[in-house]
């Protein structure tokens, strides 16, 4: 029911003071990080950001390093000297060589980020450097350590490993003084504040020197030291503020409280912080905060007042000026929690800045994590990190949330009464009417409810669409028809006019279908889309013109030309020209032509189910469907399409709103998107960006007069103001964090690299990775150090020349490669922040070291060997060619000699009436000395000669020639006498060691005479006895001795007897095993084949030799001569 308006308005006035505090803090939402997120321990003592942007958190359970995604925890291992010394971290500092010094309850450790290992300098272990409060370094690489409890200060010379205590000896200038602070000026000189004044360490003289005695900077406690502009040094003390102009040695200005309003607020200064952007000094004192404005040399003071936005107390402990966001953060002595002031550019014109005090609220997850504040710093991006005593870390980003959400909260009696938002319509004053699961609710921009109508009292089940006219008359589309509500009057049945199917209504207010989807006011008419067509209502007479149709109208809209666009449930999009409106409003029938989905028509509308219709500032019609976003091209009467592949998160579009810059804000079934028409790019927003819904309802969107856009869904209202949208402009550094090499033996080597260049200005970082032939694959890990909405960081990388373009990592923070060619590559990676600002590329030079046998030196050696090889090859080739020519010549001569040899012997046996004669000679590869011949005589006798000259070649051939000539020129006598004459002839010619072995037989009248000169035996086959007689007559080869005698033997040769003469070629031929045939197998073969013809005996001996040699070439000539008696 509707509450009494007068009572409600009075309540709202009472509430406003409270709501200013509640809703004024929407800019101060904290993200809290605790042990469940990976933090080692809930007590965070110190926070530090290194040069790359990694965050270090010192806890009571070790040191944590954070990259926005995960923590790396380092704790003490008593058995590992390379672990942290102690667990209760009290201070963290990065020196000029990028080593991280960590002070704990047990001493000081040094951490090397590139190796992820700790070391414990030996001198530091011996000293009782426990609970160090401050660590700094100078330009010489010396480390200075101030202890918290004792106030002792040590200098550690890391080169010589020498530890020196500045105030342990009574010879020291500050022996009796308690050191309160150590710092360094712009020149790197170490400044020492004590309870008795300011000192500095002169490294050249190794002396500690007092400063500003004449100016009164003595015998007073120094509480704070800060560097200002132009090398100025500001010193806050227990008795005023001192400024050392230009640094040490310059004039000293003293500022103390006076009666003037422009003097410092208190003489007791506790903390200082310099605002580099505004060139101002902020001073925390015992009696408020002073802001020193350099341009006016005056102070603007902030103290506690009775007003609600005053600072909570005057006794300020610590301050931090967050330069980028323009906020001053501070703690106080007597109130827990944290405080913040928004710093104005001109404090005098704006008055005291409003103060905010933050304490932990167990109900509010976005409140600060704990009330005990241990440390707070501003990082390079301008975010503030807060370390608490009991509940981890709070993170505050100056980047305002892009979206504001209004949801049902049972603890808030003034908020929404339901999370389900079905429709929204806004008024000119910023108030809005919302159709919810409860009914109708009127709420403010901040979500405070002003009016309400419960749907049961409205007699409807659910509300589909809302439209308000002149901020008074609210038109409501429901499942039970149309309601017209006068919102200026209290709830009364008479103030609600109904239009429905009900017969109880006057006919002029009866419609054909109660299901009303959309409402469009046009002048004094209301156009209504229903489940069975369209209805036009005259607002002056409340009369209805009903157009029945098979079309289920879901969306109705009018463009700037006056045309009506009608979107249907399943039948597509239709356009009603402006020229027809007057006739239609008079009730005349009309026909529609439209656009329906046709798969064959690729330029048509992408779906027939229309969900929303919007016109942009250029007059372009945009149509949302359940199958993508469509842009109507009026010139061609077709559509351009936008789908998931074009950048949308979902193809189901539920709403499109055009902002003042003609950008499209699109709700869908998967979040909210912004389409930049200038750059044709989509930016998608999900729950991580702060939107309240992931699934938005149709009809549930609107835009207020100030440009704010509202989207509704099952989880409340999401609000965005495009004009006030703040983007994260920080360019994060992208850092290569790990290089992992996998070898062929599956071993792994990891290199932790934080790069060697300073990324504070977003500059490029370059490192080098060397890979040898043993590496199978490698991967590169990287991270963009953006801590605001880290989950939305994006990454892209490129390996030149392997990749032609940037490769999206698809959310992964590493790139892997294997089987690359042996070359040199350049790896580049970029990371973006949550708003798409890309970092400068981090670069990695990848150099492959080949196998030693494939190195440059190896190839140089190979080249030398190749040249030598070519030289040797050419020389060998020349020698070979020369040899081949010589061999060819020799072969030619041998062929000629062989031809000559063959010409000396008969090619065919002589034809004799008494004898069957057969012969055979198989020459070897060289010119041999075998010889046979026949010399028939006039008396019918016949001399047969078979010989073999020793050796091969030309000498053997010459010996055969001499033998043949000697025989042809000789008078034949007995074989013995003839052989003796031939011996003298050969000996007289003297061919050296060449000799001639010879068998000679004279055949006559059934017998033969036989003599031999060193030849193998002859074989006589006896037909009668079927056996063979071996004839071996001793004698020297011809040419051995001049007076040699030769024996003569006579033998009978009967019919079918045969005499076989051979050279040594057949019995001495060898097989594949190198074995000789020998004479016995020859004899056996003749025995077996003796009855054959002369040629048959020859053939059997040839087969014997061929079978034995089995394809081998004979080394010596084989000569066979058979004489068989007919």
Structure tokens at 985: 């002839």
pLDDT of residue 4: 30
pLDDT of residue 252: 96
Residues of 994-1027 as b/e, b for ≥16 C-beta within 10 angstroms? bbbbbbbbbbeeeebbbbbbbbbbbbbbbeeeee
**CATH code for the domain in which residue 789 is found:** 2.60.40.10
Q: Is residue 362 part of a domain?
A: yes
Same domain, 586 and 619: yes
pLDDT of residue 1042: 85
Query: What beta strand segments (E) does 326-480 contain?
Result: 327-332, 338-342, 355-358, 373-378, 384-388, 393-396, 404-406, 421-426, 432-436, 439-443, 449-454, 463-469, 473-478
Same domain, 933 and 1020: yes
3-state secondary structure 1005-1074: CCEEEEEEECCCCEEEEECCCCEEEEECCCCCCECCCCCCCCCCEEEECCCCCEEEEECCCCCCCECCCC
Structure tokens at 198: 């300011």
Say if residues 409 and 722 touch (Cβ distance below 8 Å). no
Q: Among candidates 497, 574, 591, 581, which has minimal Cα distance to 545?
A: 581
Q: Is residue 1111 part of a domain?
A: yes
pLDDT of residue 901: 64
Same domain, 341 and 488: no
- In which element (H, E) is residue 1099 found? helix 1094-1109
Q: What is d(CA 485, CA 481) in angstroms, rounded to the nearest whole number?
A: 13
pLDDT of residue 750: 84
Say if residues 610 and 568 touch (Cβ distance below 8 Å). yes
Say if residues 1103 and 1119 touch (Cβ distance below 8 Å). no
pLDDT of residue 753: 63
Write the DSSP symbol of residue 983: H
Same domain, 612 and 757: no
Helices and strands of the chain, counted as H and E runs: 10, 79
Same domain, 940 and 1058: yes
Q: Is residue 106 part of a domain?
A: no
Q: Is residue 649 part of a domain?
A: yes
- In which element (H, E) is residue 759 found? none
Residue corresponding to tokens 């005996």: 1097
Same domain, 876 and 962: no
Q: What is d(CA 250, CA 804) in angstroms, rounded to the nearest whole number?
A: 59
The edge-to-edge listing of strands for the beta sheet with 108-112 is 89-94, 100-104, 108-112, 117-119
Would the pTM of this model clear 0.85, i.e. be above it?
no
**CATH code for the domain in which residue 578 is found:** 2.130.10.10
DSSP string across 842-900 = EEEEEEEE--GGGSHHHHHHHHHHHHHHHHHHHHHHHHHHHHHHHHHHHHHHHHHHHHH
pLDDT of residue 1067: 94
pLDDT of residue 925: 62
Same domain, 683 and 742: no
Q: What is d(CA 389, CA 397) in angstroms, rounded to the nearest whole number?
A: 21
Q: Which domain holds residue 877?
A: 855-900
Q: What is d(CA 707, CA 362) in angstroms, rounded to the nearest whole number?
A: 35
**CATH code for the domain in which residue 1028 is found:** 3.60.40.10
Say if residues 1104 and 1096 touch (Cβ distance below 8 Å). no
According to DSSP, the residues that pair with 576 across neighbouring strands are 564
Same domain, 885 and 911: no
| Cα end-to-end span (Å), the chain | 154
Q: Is residue 293 part of a domain?
A: yes
Q: What is d(CA 61, CA 41) in angstroms, rounded to the nearest whole number?
A: 6
pLDDT average per 10 residues of sequence, the chain (1126 residues): 30 32 55 96 97 96 96 94 94 95 94 91 73 93 92 89 88 90 93 96 92 92 96 97 95 94 95 94 97 92 87 95 93 95 69 86 93 96 96 94 91 91 94 95 92 89 94 94 88 81 92 94 93 92 89 93 94 92 84 89 95 96 97 95 96 97 96 95 91 92 95 95 91 92 87 54 58 84 94 93 90 87 86 94 86 76 90 88 83 69 80 92 75 89 91 76 85 90 88 89 92 94 93 90 89 94 92 92 94 94 93 88 93
Q: Is residue 483 part of a domain?
A: yes
Cα–Cα separations (whole angstroms), residue 891 to 121, 883, 926, 930, 1030: 90, 12, 9, 19, 38
DSSP string across 462-511 = -EEEEEEETTTEEEEEETTEEEEEETTS-S-GGGEEEEBS-TTS-GGGB-
Same domain, 917 and 1052: yes
Q: What is d(CA 671, CA 648) in angstroms, rounded to the nearest whole number?
A: 10
Same domain, 1072 and 1017: yes
Domain count, the chain: 5
Same domain, 487 and 518: yes
Q: Is residue 433 part of a domain?
A: no
Residue corresponding to tokens 């989807």: 517
Q: What is d(CA 166, CA 145) in angstroms, rounded to the nearest whole number?
A: 10
- In which element (H, E) is residue 185 found? none
Q: What is d(CA 482, CA 469) in angstroms, rounded to the nearest whole number?
A: 15
Q: Is residue 382 part of a domain?
A: yes
Write the DSSP symbol of residue 838: B
**Number of Cβ within a 10 Å radius of residue 334:** 9
pLDDT of residue 926: 62
Same domain, 636 and 778: no
pLDDT of residue 841: 94
């Amino acid at each position: 029911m509707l509450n009494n308006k007068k009572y409600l308005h009075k309540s709202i006035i009472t509430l406003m003071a409270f709501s200013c505090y509640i809703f004024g803090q929407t800019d101060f939402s904290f993200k809290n990080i605790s042990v469940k997120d990976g933090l080692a321990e809930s007590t965070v003592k110190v926070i530090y950001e290194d040069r790359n942007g990694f965050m270090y958190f010192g806890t009571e359970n070790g040191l944590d390093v954070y990259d926005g995604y995960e923590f790396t925890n380092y704790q003490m291992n008593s058995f590992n000297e390379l672990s942290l010394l102690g667990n209760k971290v009290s201070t963290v500092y990065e020196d000029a060589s990028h080593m991280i010094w960590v002070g704990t309850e047990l001493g000081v450790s040094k951490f090397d980020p590139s190796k992820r290992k700790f070391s414990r300098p030996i001198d530091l272990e011996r000293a009782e450097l426990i609970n160090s409060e401050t660590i700094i370094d100078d330009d010489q690489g010396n480390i200075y350590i101030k202890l918290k409890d004792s106030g002792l200060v040590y200098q550690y010379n890391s080169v010589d490993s020498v530890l020196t205590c500045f105030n342990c000896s009574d010879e020291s200038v500050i022996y009796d003084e308690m050191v309160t602070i150590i710092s360094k000026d712009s020149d790197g000189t170490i400044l020492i504040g004590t309870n008795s004044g300011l000192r500095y360490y002169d490294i050249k003289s190794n002396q500690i020197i007092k400063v500003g005695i004449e100016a009164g900077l003595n015998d007073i406690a120094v509480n704070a030291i800060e560097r200002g502009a132009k090398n100025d040094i500001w010193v806050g003390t227990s008795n005023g503020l001192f400024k050392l102009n230009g640094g040490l040695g310059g004039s000293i200005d003293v500022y103390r409280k006076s009666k003037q309003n422009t003097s410092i607020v208190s003489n007791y200064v506790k903390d200082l912080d310099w605002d580099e952007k505004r060139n101002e000094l902020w001073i925390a004192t015992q009696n408020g905060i002073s802001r020193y404005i350099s341009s006016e040399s005056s102070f603007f003071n902030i103290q506690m007042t009775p007003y609600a936005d005053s600072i909570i107390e005057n006794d300020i402990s610590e301050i931090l000026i967050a330069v980028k966001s323009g906020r001053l953060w501070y703690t106080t002595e007597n109130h827990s929690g944290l405080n913040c002031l928004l710093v104005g550019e001109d404090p005098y014109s704006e008055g005291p800045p409003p103060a905010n005090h933050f304490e932990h609220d167990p109900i509010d997850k976005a409140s600060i994590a704990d009330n005990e504040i241990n440390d707070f710093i501003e990082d390079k991006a301008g975010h503030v990190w807060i370390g608490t005593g009991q509940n981890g870390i709070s993170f505050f980003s100056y980047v305002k949330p892009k979206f504001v959400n209004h949801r049902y909260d049972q603890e808030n009696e003034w908020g929404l009464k339901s999370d389900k938002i079905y429709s929204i319509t806004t008024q000119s004053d910023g108030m809005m009417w919302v159709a919810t699961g409860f009914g109708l609710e009127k709420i403010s921009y901040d979500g405070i409810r002003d009016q309400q109508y419960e749907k049961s009292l409205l007699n409807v089940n659910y509300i589909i669409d809302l439209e308000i006219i002149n901020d008074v008359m609210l038109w409501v589309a429901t499942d039970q028809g149309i309601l017209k509500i006068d919102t200026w009057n209290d709830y009364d049945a008479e103030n609600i006019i109904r239009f429905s199917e009900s017969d109880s209504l006057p006919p002029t207010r009866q419609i054909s279908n109660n299901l009303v989807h959309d409402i469009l006011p046009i002048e004094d008419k209301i156009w209504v889309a229903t489940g069975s067509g369209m209805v036009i209502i005259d607002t002056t007479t409340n009369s209805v013109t009903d157009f029945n149709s098979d079309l289920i109208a879901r969306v109705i809209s009018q463009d700037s030309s006056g045309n009506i666009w009608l979107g249907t449930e399943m039948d597509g999009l239709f356009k009603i020209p402006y020229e027809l409106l007057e006739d239609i409003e008079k009730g005349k029938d009309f026909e529609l032509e439209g656009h329906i989905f046709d798969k064959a028509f690729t330029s048509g509308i992408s779906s027939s189910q229309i969900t929303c219709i919007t016109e942009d500032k250029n007059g372009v019609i945009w149509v949302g469907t359940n199958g993508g976003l469509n842009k109507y091209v009026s010139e061609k009467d077709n559509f351009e399409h936008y789908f998931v592949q074009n950048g949308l998160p979902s193809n189901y579009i539920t709403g499109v709103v055009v902002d003042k810059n003609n950008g499209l804000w699109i709700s869908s079934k998967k979040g909210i998107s912004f389409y930049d028409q200038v750059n044709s790019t989509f930016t998608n927003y999900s729950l991580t960006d702060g939107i309240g819904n992931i699934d938005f309802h149709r009809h549930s969107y609107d835009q207020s007069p100030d440009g704010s856009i509202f989207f509704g869904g099952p989880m409340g209202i999401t609000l965005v103001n495009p004009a006030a949208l703040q983007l994260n402009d920080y360019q994060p550094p992208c850092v290569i964090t790990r290089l992992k090499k996998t070898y062929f033996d599956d071993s792994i080597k990891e290199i932790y690299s934080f790069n060697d260049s300073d990324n504070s200005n977003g500059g490029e970082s370059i490192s080098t990775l060397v890979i040898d032939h043993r590496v199978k694959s490698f991967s590169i890990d990287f991270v963009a150090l953006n801590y605001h909405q880290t989950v939305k960081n994006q990454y892209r990388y490129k390996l030149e020349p392997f990749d032609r373009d940037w490769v999206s990592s698809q959310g992964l923070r590493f790139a892997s490669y294997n089987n690359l060619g042996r070359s040199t590559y350049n790896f580049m990676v970029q990371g973006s922040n949550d708003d798409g600002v890309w970092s400068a590329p981090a670069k990695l030079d990848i150099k492959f070291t080949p196998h030693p046998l494939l190195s440059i030196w190896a190839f140089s050696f190979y080249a030398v060997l190749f040249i030598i090889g070519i030289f040797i090859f050419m020389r060998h080739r020349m020698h070979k060619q020369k040899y081949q020519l010589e061999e060819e010549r020799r072969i030619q001569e041998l062929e000629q000699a062989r031809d000559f040899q063959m010409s000396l012997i008969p090619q065919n046996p002589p034809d004799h009436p008494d004898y069957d004669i057969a012969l055979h000679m198989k020459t070897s590869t060289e010119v041999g000395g075998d010889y046979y011949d026949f010399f028939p005589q006039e008396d019918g006798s016949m001399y047969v000669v078979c010989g073999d000259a020793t050796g091969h070649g030309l000498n053997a051939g010459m010996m055969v020639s001499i033998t043949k000539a000697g025989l042809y020129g000789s008078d034949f006598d007995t074989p013995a006498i003839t052989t003796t004459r031939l011996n003298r002839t050969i000996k007289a010619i003297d061919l050296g060691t060449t000799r001639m072995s010879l068998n000679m037989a004279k055949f006559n009248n059934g017998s033969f005479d036989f003599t031999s000169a060193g030849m193998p035996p002859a074989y006589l086959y006896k037909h009668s006895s079927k056996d063979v007689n071996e004839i071996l007559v001793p004698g020297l080869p011809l040419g051995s001795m001049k007076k040699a005698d030769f024996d003569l033997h006579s033998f009978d040769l009967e019919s079918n007897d045969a005499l076989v003469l051979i050279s040594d070629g057949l019995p001495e031929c060898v097989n594949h095993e190198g074995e000789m045939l020998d004479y016995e197998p020859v004899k056996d073969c003749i025995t077996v084949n003796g009855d054959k013809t002369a040629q048959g005996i020859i053939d059997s001996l040839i087969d014997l030799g061929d079978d034995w040699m089995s394809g081998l070439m004979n080394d010596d000539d084989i000569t066979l001569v058979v004489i068989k008696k007919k």
